[in-house]
Amino acid sequence: MRPIHALLLAAGLTACPQGAVEHMPAPTATLGADTTAPTPTVVLPDSPAGRLAREFFDVLNRADVEGIRAYFAENSSPALLTAEPLDAALPQWKLLLEQAGGFDLVAVAPGTPGAEDLTLTLRARAVDRNLVITFTLDARGQFSMFRGNIPDPPDPGKLPTVAMPEAELAPAIARRVAELAAADRFSGVVLVLAGDRELVRAVHGHAEKSFAAPNNFDTKFNLGSMNKMFTGVAIGQLVEQGKLSFEDTVLEVLPDYPDRAFAEKATLHHLLTHSSGIGGNIFDDRMYEHRDRFKNPADYLPLFADAPPAFAPGERFGYANTGFIVLGMIIERVSGQSYYDYVHDHVFAPAGMRDTAAYAWDEVVPNLAVGYDPDLTDIFRVGPRRTNISLLPYRGSPAGGGYSTVPDLRAFAAALRGHRLLGAAMTETVTGPKIDFEGFGKYGYGFLTFGVEGRDVRGHSGGHLGINGALEMFWDGSYTVIVLANYGSGAAEVVAGEITGLLAAQRPS
């Protein structure tokens, strides 16, 4: 439903859960699970998009990594190559080619009328999985967008989006969550509230598999990017106190920021809405090799401060963890506290969040869930699950990676809606929609707003390998959906998305 965040690989390949590709046109042909079945005859259109699709299909089946490099170098727009550098993408393409054993083209969905875009469904010959590619060409006939995902097999048990008596809602939701857990597609905790009343509580899976330690209702899960909500609230508090303005530039608050040209133009508004164009990446080999060096926001600066901006501030949306690292530095500079102390004292404590913190990766924390996912090199995600411990940073950051519980997120949602963290006007400013987020809704200041069946839903999700969570608040106060999981690949977002879709179809009496 939303891309924040099943693992987004540099190649634009996404290991997506079922439901994450619902916006794509339905394929015109499909191939069943029997890989010995004859491949349907699929005709590519005689158009620039069709010809590029044919070239791409041929390069894939030559299993030629250098051919992939040359293909994208020739056919990608400069903006796309800046956003998705080839050198970062090629290792993933290499693994894909090795594991697929070649592809059969089984479906082509026509693109948007009047536009040069297509969706291709390719069947891997060595693995019972599909690769779905969607691309768009610009006026020069180059890729302005190129995305791929590997959807899970079809799941007929998806919750309907229909009105039903409230007495049937809770059993339907609980049954669906149990089905996903039984299929090993979900491990975690679900809480659904109708107003302030608990509608569904479901707990499944193991917090630690080696000892078969079960998840509990108050187990601590890694939040991924959900922490961005806390950073957004913290900045809103400092603005409300007159210590900052959303239009302040980075240079005005951090006069010693290394990239002065960027800092002169990028504002807090740009950083909060992922529209600053800030470059770099905090999930860098240097971080994993020396993660004990990255304990505070400023420690990350060497990883991205020298990276050229991806675009000019305000030009467009570009999801950037690095921007929220800078926001954490700003909170420290203005408040005089460490980022971690500030959010504890001014967000978690006032909300009554007793089990939310950025624990160190090697810290012994009671009732904390270990994350599990297939190995990073398992592109088709069909192998056994492994722990994600080697892929965690030293601790969470202003961009994400802290831990919380379902009860604490319930308390956060109540404090936010009850204006105990921000005044009513500032709550609307921080959580409300500001900028388009790639067709998935609108991004505010650390919050995402999206419409479901005409209902205004706000919150954030987060994910990585072995990590997924979502907080989805119906802004009229009717429902709240909280799902935390210690599986990645959108395990929590699939559950939250289905539940939210069902609830949105219910109309107030």
Q: What is the pLDDT of residue 31?
A: 27
CB-based contacts of 150, cutoff 8 Å, min separation 6: 13, 14, 15, 16, 129, 130, 131, 132, 379, 380, 381
Least confident of 19-23, 32-36, 209-213, 420-424: 19-23
Which sign does the torsion angle of CA 158, 460, 428, 194 carry? positive
Q: What is the pLDDT of residue 15?
A: 35
Which range of 10-24, 56-70, 276-290, 489-503 scores highest in mean pLDDT? It is: 489-503
Which whole number is the average pLDDT over 412-435?
98
Selected residue with higher pLDDT from 290 and 381:
290
In the chain, count H helices and then E strands: 17, 19
- Which CATH entry fits the domain spanning 166-226+367-429+455-504: 3.40.50.1470, 3.40.50.620, 3.40.710.10, 3.40.50.1220? 3.40.710.10
CATH for the stretch 228-343:
3.40.710.10
pLDDT category, 113, cuts 50, 70, 90?
A: low
Which whole number is the average pLDDT over 22-42?
37
Which whole number is the average pLDDT over 53-67?
91
What percentage of the chain reaches a pLDDT higher than 90?
A: 74
Looking at the predicted structure, is the pLDDT value of residue 256 above 90? yes
DSSP 371: P
Rounded Cα gap, residues 412 and 447, in angstroms: 13
Which sign does the torsion angle of CA 60, 61, 65, 66 carry? negative
- The answer to whether domain 21-149 has CATH 3.50.50.60 is no
Selected residue with higher pLDDT from 485 and 148:
485
pLDDT category, 37, cuts 50, 70, 90?
A: very low
* Number of other CB atoms surrounding residue 249 within 10 Å: 18
Q: What is the pLDDT of residue 114?
A: 61
Q: What is the pLDDT of residue 85?
A: 78
Please tell me whether residue 242 adopts helix, strand or coil conformation: coil
Least confident of 52-56, 320-324, 377-381, 482-486: 377-381
Mean pLDDT (the chain, rounded): 88
Q: What is the pLDDT of residue 87?
A: 82
pLDDT category, 112, cuts 50, 70, 90?
A: low
Looking at the predicted structure, is the pLDDT value of residue 507 above 50? yes
Angle between helices 406-417 and 424-431 (to 10 degrees): 120
CB-based contacts of 160, cutoff 8 Å, min separation 6: 502, 505
Rounded Cα gap, residues 316 and 79, in angstroms: 12
* Number of other CB atoms surrounding residue 45 within 10 Å: 15
Domain with CATH 3.10.450.280 in the chain: 21-149
Looking only at the bridges linking them, the beta strands covering 442-443 and 372-374 are unpaired
Which whole number is the average pLDDT over 115-133?
90
User: Which tens digits make up the pLDDT trace of 473-493?
Assistant: 999 999 999 999 999 989 999
Least confident of 328-342, 434-448, 460-474: 434-448
Rounded Cα gap, residues 134 and 118, in angstroms: 6
pLDDT category, 438, cuts 50, 70, 90?
A: confident
Looking at the predicted structure, is the pLDDT value of residue 50 above 80? yes
Q: What is the pLDDT of residue 509?
A: 59
Rounded Cα gap, residues 187 and 73, in angstroms: 41
In this structure, what token pair is assigned to residue 163?
């009105």
pLDDT category, 6, cuts 50, 70, 90?
A: very low
Q: What is the pLDDT of residue 43?
A: 85
**What DSSP string describes 403-431?**
EE-HHHHHHHHHHHHTTSSS-HHHHHHHH
Q: What is the pLDDT of residue 84?
A: 74
Are 449 and 166 within 8 A, CB to CB? no
Q: What is the pLDDT of residue 33?
A: 34
Looking at the predicted structure, is the pLDDT value of residue 19 above 60? no
Selected residue with higher pLDDT from 376 and 23:
376
Looking at the predicted structure, is the pLDDT value of residue 176 above 50? yes
The model carries a pTM of: 0.82
User: Which tens digits make up the pLDDT trace of 342-396?
Assistant: 999 999 999 999 999 999 999 999 999 999 998 878 888 888 899 999 999 999 9
Domain with CATH 3.40.710.10 in the chain: 166-226+367-429+455-504, 228-343
pLDDT category, 41, cuts 50, 70, 90?
A: confident
Q: What is the pLDDT of residue 192?
A: 98
Looking at the predicted structure, is the pLDDT value of residue 10 above 80? no
Which whole number is the average pLDDT over 86-95?
86
Rounded Cα gap, residues 116 and 138, in angstroms: 8
